[in-house]
Amino acid sequence: MDRRRRPRTPLLTALLLVSLAAAAAATLSQGCDGGERRALLRSIKPLFVGGEFGYGDAWNESTDCCGWEGVVCGGGGGGHRVVSLSLVQAGIAGAVDGAAFTALQELDLSWNRISAFSLPSAGGERAFQKLSKLSLSHNSLTDEGVAALLLTTSWISNLTSLRVVDLSQNFLHGYNGICNLHQLEYLHLGVNMLHGTINSCLGKLQQLKYLNMERNFLMGEIAPNLLINLTKLETIHLGVNNLIGTFMLSWLANSSNLVDVVLSHNYNLKIETELVRWTPLFQLVYLNLSNCVINRRSNGVVPTFLSTQLSLSGIDLSHCSLQGRIPPWLFYNLSDFVLLNGNRMDVIDMDGLGGNMTSPVQVLDLSENKISMSIPTNFGSIFQFLDYCDMSSNRLYGGIPSLAEATSLEHLSLENNRFSGWLSPLLSNSSNLKTLNVRNNHLSGIIPDGLLSFQQLGVILLGGNDFHGPIPLDLCFNNYLHFVDLSNNQFSGEIPNCFYNDFWTDLPMYFNDDPFSGNITERMSVDFTTKGENLTYMGEPLVLMTGIDLSMNQLSGAIPPPLGFLRQLKSLNLSHNQLVGPIPETFMYMQDMESLDLSYNHLNGSLPMQLANLSFLCSFNVAYNNLSGEIPFQQQLGTFDESAFEGNDNLCGEIINKNCSSVLHQNQGVFDAIDTSLVFWSYVFGCFALGFWGTVALLIWDEVCRRRLCDLMDALMFKLGWEFVP
C-alpha cells in the first residue's frame, strides 16, 4: 500500500481555508455574545464624552468585546458572556440601560455623570442572580433616575447574591428593598438625600461588615435593635445627620470585629458610655464622636472604656461637652492623634505621665478648653513624637517648657493663654518647625538673632505680647515665610533693610516646592488680620496667602525701599508706628498686593502715582500722616473713599472733595504772611522783651540766683584787671 502523502488539490486547499475561516468566526462568536456586543456599542459607547482613561476608543465591530477596556467575559460556552463591567471615570453621561447584561457578576459605573440607570423589571428571579457587586457611586442618580426598579420597589431584593452595594454621592431619597439582601456585607449610601429615621430592618443584615449612611438628612433616634444583632460589623458611619435621642455605646459591645465608629456632627445626639457596666469585645482603631453630647448624665467624663482600647490610632472627641480631667492613659493608648478641642476640660492629670514612658501621639489638639495649669518641664520628653500641637485658648500660665526633644514638631500653637517669660527655651532644636503661634500671651524680652532662623518656618505669629528691641534679622533670610505677625508689641528701631538680597532668585515669600504645603495643612488654619478684618485661612488659600503685620509697635525711620520687591506679598500692615519719610516708589512692584495699611504714622511727601496700577488692591489706608499733594483719581486709588486719606491736611483731590488750587493758595498765604516785615520785627522784639524782662524778674525774686550772678560778674571783672572799692 502506498502510504506517501498525496498532493492537495486546489479544491481541498479552498475547502480547508473555508473551514478555518468558519472556525475563526465560530471562535469570535463564542468570545463575545452578539447581543451584549450590540448593547455595548449602541447603548454604552455613545455615552462616552471624555473620560480619563480613553474608554471606548478600541470598541468596534471588528474586535472581540471580551478584550475591550473595562469588559471581562467568563462563564460556560467558551466564556462568551460579559460577567464584569467596570467603567470607572469613563466620562459616561446620560441614561444607562443595563438590561442586556444579565450574566453580570460585578457592575461598577462609579465616578461618571449617569443620570438614570435601568435593569429589567420582568424576569428578575432569573436574571442577575450572580450579581455580587453593584457600584453606581459619584453620579447624578435620583430616585426617578433609577426608575423605581432599584430602590423604591422590592426588585433589588431578588438580587440575593449581592454582597457589595455602593450608591454613595448621588441624589437618592430612599433605600427600600435593601433590607432583604441577607448576604450583603458592604452598604454605602452616604452623601445622598436620605431622610426620615433609619429603618431598623437593616438590623436583619447579619452579614453586614460595613455600613455608611453619613452626610444625609436622617433624623430621629437610633433604634437599639438596629445594631445589637450586627455582630460582624467592622465599620459604622452615621455622621453628619440630624439624629437625636440617646445612643448607648454598649449596644455595640458584642461586635467583636468593630474597628471604626463615626457618629460625629449629630448635634443633638446624646451618647452615653457610663450608665451601665459593660465590657467591649472590640478593639477600635478609629473613634469619631465630635459635635455630639457625650456623657451628659455622667458629668461629661472622658469615656472610661477607652482605657481598654489598645489598638487605637486616633480619637476625635472635640466639641462634645466633656469636662473635668484628662486621664493620662489617653495619651499612651493612641498612636496617631488625640482631638479634645472645644470642650470644658480643666486639667491634665500629670500623675500618670512621665517617668520612662513616652507617648506615641503625633497630633495633639487641646485648644478651646479651660485648662488652668502650668505645663511641666518634661512635656517635651513625654511627647517626643509630636508633629502638631495646639493648646491655644486655655488658661495655661507660667513659662513655656522646652520642646527640644520633640524634634519632629512642625506646628505649635499656644496663643490666647497666660504664658510669660522668654521665648528662646521653647525653640531650641526645633529645626522642623513650620508654624509658630504664641500670640496674645505675656511673653517678653528681646528676640535674639538666630532664634527664628529655621528654614522650614512658614508662619510666625508673635503679636499681642511684650517683646521689645529690634525686629530679628532672621525674617530676612527665610525663603518660605507666608505669615509674619509681630503686631501689638514694643518692637523699636528701623524696619530691617534686608527683605531683598542677591541670594534670592525671586523673593523670600516665593514658594516653589514649599514644605509649608504638605499634609499638615489639612488640619491647620491661620487667623490673620487683613483688609480691615480678621480672616481665617486654611487649605489652598492658606498655601497661597502671604502677609506681614508690624502694626502697633514703636518702629521709626523710613520704610525701606527693598520692601517693595516682595512682589508676591498680598498684605502689608505698618500702621500705628512712628515711621517717617515718603512712601517708597518701589511699592509699584507689589503686583499681588490686596491690602496696604500705612495709617497713623508720620509719612510725608506725595502719594506715588504708581500705586494706582496695583490692580488687586482692595483695601488701602494712609490716614493720619503728613502726606501732601493731589490724590491720583484713577484705577485702584479711585475706588477708595475719603476715610482712607483723612488726617492728611495737605492732601487734595476729587476723592476727598478738596480742590487742590485752594489748598495751594492757602498754604502760600501762610508762607507770605510769615514773610512780611511787620511779622518779622514783631517776632524779634517779642523775643527780646521776653528774654530781658524774664531775666530781671528772676533776679528780683530769687536771691540765690542774684548772688551767684554778682559773684560771677565780680570774678569776671577781677580777671579783666578791674577793681571796685565799695
Nearest to 653 by CA among 587, 606, 716, 723: 606
162-195 tens-digit pLDDT: 999 999 999 998 887 898 899 999 999 999 999 9
Nearest to 287 by CA among 224, 248, 235: 235
Query: What pLDDT does 428 receive?
Result: 66
Q: Is residue 579 part of a domain?
A: yes
The domain that contains 52 carries what CATH number?
3.80.10.10
Query: What pLDDT does 244 receive?
Result: 97
Would you say the C-alpha torsion 573, 579, 583, 588 has a positive or negative sign? Answer: negative
Q: Is residue 220 part of a domain?
A: no
- Distance separating alpha carbons of residues 171 and 145, to the nearest angstrom: 9
Which residue in the block uniquely carries the three cell numbers 453593584? 134
Q: Is residue 544 part of a domain?
A: yes
- Distance separating alpha carbons of residues 577 and 559, to the nearest angstrom: 11
- Distance separating alpha carbons of residues 543 and 548, to the nearest angstrom: 15
Rounded to 5 degrees, φ, ψ at 324 are 90, -150
Query: What pLDDT does 144 receive?
Result: 63
Beta bridge partners of 560: none
> What does pTM read for this prediction?
0.82
Q: Is residue 556 part of a domain?
A: yes
Query: What pLDDT does 522 receive?
Result: 59
Q: What angle do CA 460, 508, 444 make, to 5 degrees?
A: 25
- Distance separating alpha carbons of residues 548 and 551, to the nearest angstrom: 9
Q: How far is CA 520 from the centre of its chain?
A: 9
- All three cell numbers of 493: 528701631
Query: What pLDDT does 662 receive?
Result: 66
In 516-585, DSSP assigns E strands to 525-530, 533-538, 547-549, 554-558, 571-573, 578-581
Supply the range of the domain harboring residue 50. Answer: 32-185
CA dihedral 350, 351, 356, 362 (to 10 degrees): -30
Query: What pLDDT does 121 receive?
Result: 55
Query: What pLDDT does 155 receive?
Result: 61
Which residue in the block uniquely carries the three cell numbers 503685620? 549
Domain boundary, last residue among 137, 169, 185: 185
The domain that contains 559 carries what CATH number?
3.80.10
Residue 704: CB atoms within 10 A of its CB come to 7
- All three cell numbers of 548: 506681614
Q: Is residue 695 part of a domain?
A: no
Domain boundary, last residue among 652, 677, 693: 652
- Distance separating alpha carbons of residues 531 and 593, to the nearest angstrom: 11
Distances (CA, A) of 475 to 74, 595, 598: 66, 20, 20
- All three cell numbers of 178: 435593601
- Distance separating alpha carbons of residues 234 and 57, to the nearest angstrom: 40
Q: Which residues of the chain have pLDDT under 70?
A: 1-31, 50-56, 75-79, 120-126, 143-155, 354-355, 425, 428, 499-523, 662-681, 683, 698-699, 702-706, 708-709, 711-726
> How many domains, in total, are found in the chain?
2
Residue 50: CB atoms within 10 A of its CB come to 9
Q: Is residue 276 part of a domain?
A: no
Q: Is residue 278 part of a domain?
A: no
User: Which helix or strand (DSSP H or E) is residue 35 part of?
Assistant: helix 34-39
Beta bridge partners of 92: 48
| DSSP category for residue 41 | I
Domain boundary, last residue among 185, 209, 237: 185
- DSSP secondary structure of 428-454: TT-TT--EEE--SSEEEEE--TTTT--
Query: What pLDDT does 4 receive?
Result: 41
- Distance separating alpha carbons of residues 590 and 636, to the nearest angstrom: 13
User: Which helix or strand (DSSP H or E) is residue 17 part of?
Assistant: helix 10-31
Residue 686: CB atoms within 10 A of its CB come to 10
Q: Is residue 70 part of a domain?
A: yes
Please answer whether residues 197 and 218 qualify as being in contact, where contact means their C-beta atoms are separated by less than 8 angstroms. yes
Q: Is residue 338 left, alpha or beta, with left meaning phi > 0 and alpha meaning psi from -120 to 50?
A: beta
Angle between helices 703-719 and 677-701 (to 10 degrees): 100
